[in-house]
Amino acid sequence: MTQQTIGILGTGSYVPERHVTNGEVAARVDVPEEWIEKKTQIAGRRYAADHEATSDLAVHAATGALERAGLTADRIDYLIVSTSTPDSPQPPTAYHVQRALGADSAACLDINVVCSGFVYGLALANSLVAHRPGSHALVVAADVYSRILDFSDRRTAVLLGDGAGAAVVGAAPEGLGFLDFELGSRGDKHNLIRVEAGGSRVPTSPETIAAGGHFFRMEGRDVRDFVMENFPPVADKICARNGVALSDVQHFVPHQPNGVLLTEMVNRAGLAGAHTHRTLERYGNVGSASAALTLDEANRAGHLKEGELVLIGTFGGGMSIGAGLMRWVGAA
């Protein structure tokens, strides 16, 4: 039996209307406005409105992806939502997205691999669709980090914003679509990115709230060292395994942590010859949505041509690494 070729058939994204400038963040964090752009290359970000939750952003992005794939929601067999800022602990955010879309035939689940979640979701979708010919999966990555930021912590508050991205996955023409995925996890580094309270180990209490235990925390320098040590070998490995050189990669769509780190990582990984797509200057770091949103913007701008080699690279809390290599389908 010839294995079915699977790929991305359509993409979508959404960012909230509220634009938050570096000046506004600087006033809250008590740092110079110029310091933010110098350290991060981020010029602005979006924050969700008071009435918007993660599922609301996800629905907007998913709707765009479905429209560009030429599918209605009832054609979706699997709905995967990647988020580390769910609407609530239960039920899974994917069920809210299912209800809003009317994707009543879809099996739904959430995954939480923090900023690597989009690639993990694509890898899972690829496996599910390959085992059921003719099926479709909808992978949505969405985060609302503005709700868990500590504005007394300049290391994190200046970086993060809110947004969502989505991709429809299904059968692709021969020679196009996903080539391979490389996923990795390092639980021994779990303390580098974390939200300490609100789970079964440290349940919510007046004391955890007073101590700021529900805020996002990150050891920035150690995260940078992890990325530099672990992502370049992953990029090299996935290309070598598929008989292509790093210099053959035409488009690199990475997670968007901050601009300084991203530039250094591209050079360290040997991807300077690829077109690295960036959205962090306008949206900051939007968690697992970063790569998904950036992929959609590159697609809608017409930068990705059918048959071109695209590498998606992600890394995030856990710690986690994810890379996906594909020949672009020419999604709408």
Find the CATH number of the domain harbouring 57. 3.40.47.10
Q: Of 175, 208, 243, which residue constitutes the final position of a domain?
A: 175
Question: Are 150 and 182 members of one domain?
Answer: no
pLDDT in tens, 39-87: 999 999 999 999 999 999 999 999 999 999 999 999 999 999 999 999 9
pLDDT at 300: 96
In a domain, 1, yes or no: no
Q: How confident is the model at residue 330 (pLDDT cuts 50, 70, 90)?
A: confident
In a domain, 193, yes or no: no
The answer to whether residues 165 and 289 touch, using CB atoms and an 8 Å cutoff, is: yes
Question: Are 162 and 34 members of one domain?
Answer: yes
Q: Check whether 1 has a pLDDT greater than 90.
A: no
Question: Are 132 and 182 members of one domain?
Answer: no
Cβ partners under 8 Å of residue 212, min gap 6 = 150
Question: Are 128 and 24 members of one domain?
Answer: yes
Question: Are 18 and 154 members of one domain?
Answer: yes
The residue to which tokens 């990669």 are assigned: 249
C-alpha span between 325 and 332 (Å, rounded) = 19
pLDDT in tens, 19-38: 999 999 999 998 999 999 99
* Residue range(s) defining the domain that contains residue 295: 178-188+219-327
Q: Check whether 187 has a pLDDT greater than 60.
A: yes
Q: Of 149, 175, 201, which residue constitutes the final position of a domain?
A: 175
Question: Are 156 and 83 members of one domain?
Answer: yes
Question: Are 139 and 184 members of one domain?
Answer: no
Question: Are 98 and 162 members of one domain?
Answer: yes
Q: Which residues of 196-230 are buried (b: 16+ CB within 10 A; e: fewer)?
A: bbbeeeeeeeeeeeeeebbbbbbebeebbebbeeb
Active site members:
115, 255, 285
In a domain, 230, yes or no: yes
In a domain, 54, yes or no: yes
Give the predicted TM-score (pTM) of the model: 0.96
C-alpha span between 267 and 174 (Å, rounded) = 32
Question: Are 149 and 117 members of one domain?
Answer: yes
Q: Check whether 246 has a pLDDT greater than 80.
A: yes
Question: Are 225 and 170 members of one domain?
Answer: no
